[in-house]
Amino acid sequence: MRGPSKESAGCSKSLVAAIRRSKSLVVAVLGVLLGLSVSVSAHHSFYATYLEDTQITIQGTLDRVVYRSPHSYVYLLVSDRNNQVRLWVVECGSPDQMRRQHLIIDALKPGDQVIVTGSPGRDPDDHRLRLRTIARPAA
């Protein structure tokens, strides 16, 4: 029995090399796509979380402020129509953005009354708001 001819052996080698290159290309493309999906999901769209074309105003007692990047949070205790106190989470920009916008959050302390205007979360049961303005009530 004779082995493969030189022509068929060369053809087989080039076929194997082409398949390896194709597999490498597929793996590289999948790696890039996976990397893109991770970076896209890491920074969410505000439009996906909040009703950006709607604004509401809430008034409540400042519970706490959490400064962190990429977003800071203000937590408010707000009485609803049934006089039940709900904890609202108000999403803000980074601490640097808040300072550049001269937001008064630095001057606030737990227990202060504040009025917040912003875009509500898509799920009303979440009691979330994306900050537009924050102020103290008129004296």
Q: What is the pLDDT of residues 31-79, one digit of tens each?
A: 554 554 443 444 557 778 899 999 999 999 999 988 887 888 999 999 9
- The letter for the amino acid at 119 is S
Residue 115 pairs in a beta bridge with 59, 135
| One domain for residues 71 and 121 | yes
Confidence of residue 104 (pLDDT cuts 50, 70, 90): low
Both 39 and 99 in a single domain? no
- As for how many domains the chain has, the answer is 2
Find out whether 98 and 105 touch, Cβ atoms under 8 Å. Answer: yes
Domain that holds residue 127: 47-135
Average pLDDT, the chain: 78
Kindly report, residue by residue over 110-130, the tens digit of the pLDDT: 999 999 999 999 999 999 999
More confident residue, 51 or 12: 51
If you ran DSSP here, which 8-state letter would residue 69 be given? Answer: S
* pTM (predicted TM-score): 0.64
Q: Which three-class secondary structure string do you get for 85-108?
A: EEEEEEECCCHHHHHHCCCHHHHC
35 shares its domain with 53: no
Of 108, 100, 98, the closest CA to residue 71 belongs to 98
